Amino acid sequence: MNIEHFRIIESTLREGEQFPRAHFSPAQKVAIASALDDFGADYLELTSPRASPQSEADLRLIASQPRRFRLLTHVRCNLDDARLAIDTGVDGVDVLFATSSQLRPVSHGYSIDEIIEIGSAVVGAINAAGLEARFSSEDSFRSDPDDLVRIYRAIDRARPSRVGIADTVGIATTVGIATPRQVHELVSLVRRTVDCDIEFHAHNDTGCAIANALAALEAGATHIDTTVLGIGERNGIVPLTGMIARLLTVQPALVERYRLELLPDIDRMVADMLGIEVPFNSPVSAEGAFHHKAGMHAKAVLADPNSYEAMDPARFGLQRRILAGHRLVGRHAIRHRAEALGRRFDEQQLRAVTDEVKLRCDSGPLDNDELDHLIVNWAT
Ligand code: HCA
Ligand code: CU
């Protein structure tokens, strides 16, 4: 399947607001929107104007500003919510309806026929206003596939821009947590069912969000929901930077239109707003994402960065680092650091310095200054 024409729906200002620590001020929302605009995000999705008076004001504010992205808001699937959303000046409205037998009774109590009737009317109203309409089935993976096919087929007749599939709850049930294979199957089924585009929304309860999003694209999805750092309900959804890194390694041309070098700063900016560190295991933006430590790794990377780097850090405006002040160090890393400091050791000296570093580091790593001091002052 050709995945070239995918679009990113950046939902930091909707799903991301559902992250337990998130509470973005109007100025922070504007800063996030502007940074994502510079990055080249295709769409931004903002919290429903129904959520609170300030949420509505913030949505109207961002809708009133110049932007390259298309602006969406996310509301319940009813005409009142849809009309309010249309009135805010957005380019499109994302509506969602819970379709699983677990969520239907606690969420709204409607039958499948009623979901179809209401959903078609809401999509019709959004279309009539000249906006993009998206209809999503919440908790798709615990929904009966026959129900989903009926719903999507009927909704497709109302001509939405896209339908959404959401892996809302990544827990083991009889239907099962969404694995990449299950995502591929369900998206393929929906691909055969509808003519419109398909959006995929993946939660990360078991760490499968990025893999599931790629599987969705391979099966014919056209739009992927992301948030900065993956923030969202519980432990969140697909992280923007991780998704871009995934696509870059699949095929660099896929992400050519985005400014990848802005991503580390965007991750840091949002982490600061949330009062958290960028997680140590974040793709690309983690402090150690391009650090090389063990002797064998450092030796190989110094000879050829491709040996242990999936991506060129320069693509993201970053630099690799060879760590040498630790007991796993090898001669190559010490020689590299010594040369940077203008010192040349012969083989024998190099072995002696390396042994000394290892010995000292058995009681704890040396910081850069300590290591440099040892190298510079090594008596030859
Ligand atoms: C929510 C649910 C949602 C919706 C996804 C979508 C989910 O928190 O409102 O509209 O496609 O995970 O199901 O985020
Ligand atoms: Cu969600």
Q: Find where tokens 């380019």 sit.
A: 91
The residue annotated as part of the active site, out of 201, 203, 223, 297, is 297
| Nearest ligand to the CA atom of 168 | 1
In this prediction, residue 170 carries a pLDDT of 44
Residue 268: pLDDT above 60?
yes
Kindly indicate the confidence band of residue 143, based on its pLDDT and cuts at 50, 70 and 90. Answer: confident
Model confidence at 316: pLDDT above 70? yes
Q: How far is the CA of 16 from the centre of ligand 2 (A)?
A: 9
Task: Return the best residue to mutate from 96, 141, 205 for the ligand 1 pocket (most ligand atoms within 8 A of CB).
Answer: 96
CATH superfamily, domain 7-274, is Aldolase class I (3.20.20.70)
For the cut 90, the answer to whether the pLDDT of residue 144 exceeds it is: no
Whole-angstrom distance, CA of residue 296 vs CA of residue 78: 60
Compute the CA torsion angle 239, 38, 311, 221 (nearest 10 deg).
50
Ligand 1 atom 1: the closest Cα is on which residue?
Answer: 15
Is residue 297 annotated as a catalytic residue, yes or no?
Answer: yes
The response to whether residue 94 sits with its C-beta less than 6 Å from ligand 1 reads yes
For residue 172, what pLDDT is reported?
Answer: 34
Residue spans of the domains in the chain: they are: 7-274, 291-376
Is the pLDDT assigned to residue 140 strictly greater than 80? Answer: no
For residue 200, give the ligand nearest its CA: 1
| Å from CA of 337 to ligand 1 middle | 50
Quote the pTM value. 0.94
**Cα separation values, 270 from 69, 92, 281, 338, 356, Å:** 19, 25, 16, 37, 42
Residue type, 101: S
Q: Is the CB of 233 inside a 6 Å radius of any atom of ligand 1?
A: yes
Q: What is the dihedral of CA 87, 237, 195, 158, to 10 degrees?
A: -30
Ligand 1 pocket member 147 (CB < 6 A): no
* pLDDT 10s digits, 288-306: 999 999 999 999 999 999 9
Query: Which among 10, 43, 138 is the best mutation to test ligand 1's pocket, defined by most ligand atoms within 8 Å of the CB?
Result: 138
Confidence check: pLDDT of 175 > 50: no
Quickly tell me which residue has 């090594």 as its tokens.
378
Characterize the bridge pairing of strands 223-226 and 197-202: parallel
Burial degree of 32 (CB within 10 A; 0-12, 13-18, 19+): buried
55 lines ligand 1 (CB under 6 A): no
List, for residues 44-88, the tens digit of each pLDDT value: 999 999 999 999 999 999 999 999 999 999 999 999 999 999 999
pLDDT classification of 130: cutoffs 50, 70, 90: very high
Q: Is 136 in the pocket of ligand 1 (CB under 6 A)?
A: yes
Q: How much distance in Å is there from the Cα of 82 to the middle of ligand 1? A: 16
pLDDT confidence tier of residue 314, bands split at 50, 70 and 90: very high
| Distance, CA of 160 to CA of 44 (rounded, Å) | 18
Ramachandran angles phi, psi of 73, nearest 5°: -125, 165
Q: Quickly count: other Cβ atoms within 10 Å of residue 326's Cβ.
A: 18
Report residue 169's pLDDT band, with 50, 70 and 90 as the boundaries: low
Q: How many angstroms separate the alpha carbon of residue 232 from the centre of ligand 2?
A: 7
What pLDDT is attached to residue 173? 36
* Cα separation, 136 vs 130, whole angstroms: 19
Minimum mean pLDDT among 1-5, 259-263, 338-342: which range?
Answer: 1-5
Neighbours of 37 (CB within 10 A): 16
**What per-residue confidence (pLDDT) applies to 139?**
76
Label residue 1 by pLDDT band (50, 70, 90): low
**Is residue 230 within 6 Å of ligand 1 at its C-beta?**
no
Among 51, 9, 55, 68, smallest CA distance to 29 is for 55
What are the tens digits of pLDDT across the range 203-249? 998 899 999 999 999 999 999 999 999 999 999 999 999 999 999 99
CA 376–ligand 2 middle distance (angstroms)? 54
